[in-house]
């Protein structure tokens, strides 16, 4: 029988936040999945071993299928990381896993969320994007220099949020969905704003894929809405800036982070002093030079 997986991913600057997520999962919902899958670009082996000691973890080095980042809109190049697109890999992981649960690493799980791994009628579970607007509007696409064939899609349909979602291997043609995501991302690169959410929304519309709707108030509560959603909140999501590690205080996150440091984990880049950051940049440059 295939395993189940929780998936996240990010650059080398963010692996301490991913380690905090691993601690959070191990504490609140240790039976949520068989293993954690992390897409990464550069995490020291010693730090990988630490994360694996928290929760069984598989590390996959992410190679972006998009070689020309300058094809994307200025907004994407300025505000987003290419690691947004590793969410597409969740479809291909269904070759190996019975179910795949994606979680952004800027989240704090406050309650056991094991109900997410239970399959109901649908082969997918997604929140609709109420945070950035219910409608498919310029929140998802930039209309400046817009390609005409975008108008072949119903832009007034609800947009999908990709901060937390679940896929099951009963989903038909999941590899075809992955390939279509790659193709359309390249096609619409110049006009995308919320890129992976826009593309997955389009592909689902194109292929008439239905999904179970997750309650965003429960699984993606904004920090400012915690008080009014206390009874139902299971996940706090630090959308936008600041994050838990650079100005947004959350006691639960800080406790996990301090535990990570006591284990010998590295500090988050945003917690370094300016001098420490300078030394780190020098160290990384030397590493690149001597690895050539």
Q: Which domains does the chain have, with CATH numbers?
A: 3-291 (3.90.550.10)
- Given a contact cutoff of 8 angstroms between Cβ atoms, the answer to whether 51 and 19 are in contact is yes
- Given a contact cutoff of 8 angstroms between Cβ atoms, the answer to whether 127 and 234 are in contact is no
Q: What is the pLDDT of residues 142-165, one digit of tens each?
A: 544 555 566 567 767 777 889 999
Give the predicted TM-score (pTM) of the model: 0.90
Q: What is the pLDDT of residues 210-228, one digit of tens each?
A: 999 999 889 999 998 888 8
Percentage of the chain beyond pLDDT 70 is 86
- Given a contact cutoff of 8 angstroms between Cβ atoms, the answer to whether 198 and 191 are in contact is no
Q: What is the pLDDT of residues 33-68, one digit of tens each?
A: 999 999 999 999 999 999 999 999 999 999 988 866
């Amino acid at each position: 029988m295939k395993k189940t997986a929780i998936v996240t991913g990010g650059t080398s600057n963010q692996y301490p936040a991913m380690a905090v997520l691993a601690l959070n999962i191990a504490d609140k919902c240790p039976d949520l999945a068989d293993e954690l899958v992390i897409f990464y670009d550069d995490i020291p082996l010693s730090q990988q071993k630490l994360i694996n000691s928290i929760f069984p973890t598989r590390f996959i080095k992410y190679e972006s299928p998009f070689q020309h980042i300058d094809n994307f809109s200025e907004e994407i190049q300025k505000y987003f990381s290419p690691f947004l697109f590793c969410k597409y890999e969740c479809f291909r992981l269904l070759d190996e896993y019975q179910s795949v649960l994606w979680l952004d690493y800027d989240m704090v799980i406050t309650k056991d969320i094991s109900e997410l791994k239970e399959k109901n009628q649908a082969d997918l579970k997604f929140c609709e994007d109420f945070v950035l607007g219910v409608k498919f509007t310029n929140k998802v696409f930039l209309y400046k220099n817009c390609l005409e064939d975008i108008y072949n899609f119903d832009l007034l349909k609800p947009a999908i949020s990709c901060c937390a979602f679940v896929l099951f291997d009963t989903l038909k043609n999941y590899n075809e969905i992955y390939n279509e995501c790659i193709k359309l991302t390249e096609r619409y690169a110049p006009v995308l704003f919320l890129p992976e959410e826009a593309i997955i929304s389009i592909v689902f519309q194109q292929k008439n894929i239905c999904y179970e709707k997750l309650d965003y108030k429960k699984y993606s509560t904004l920090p400012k809405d915690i008080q009014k959603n206390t009874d139902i909140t299971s996940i706090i999501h630090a959308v936008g800036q600041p994050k838990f590690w650079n100005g947004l205080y959350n006691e639960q996150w800080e406790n996990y982070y301090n535990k990570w440091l006591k284990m010998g984990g590295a500090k988050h880049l945003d917690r370094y002093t300016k001098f420490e950051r300078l030394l780190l940049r020098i160290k990384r440059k030397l590493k690149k030079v001597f690895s050539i």
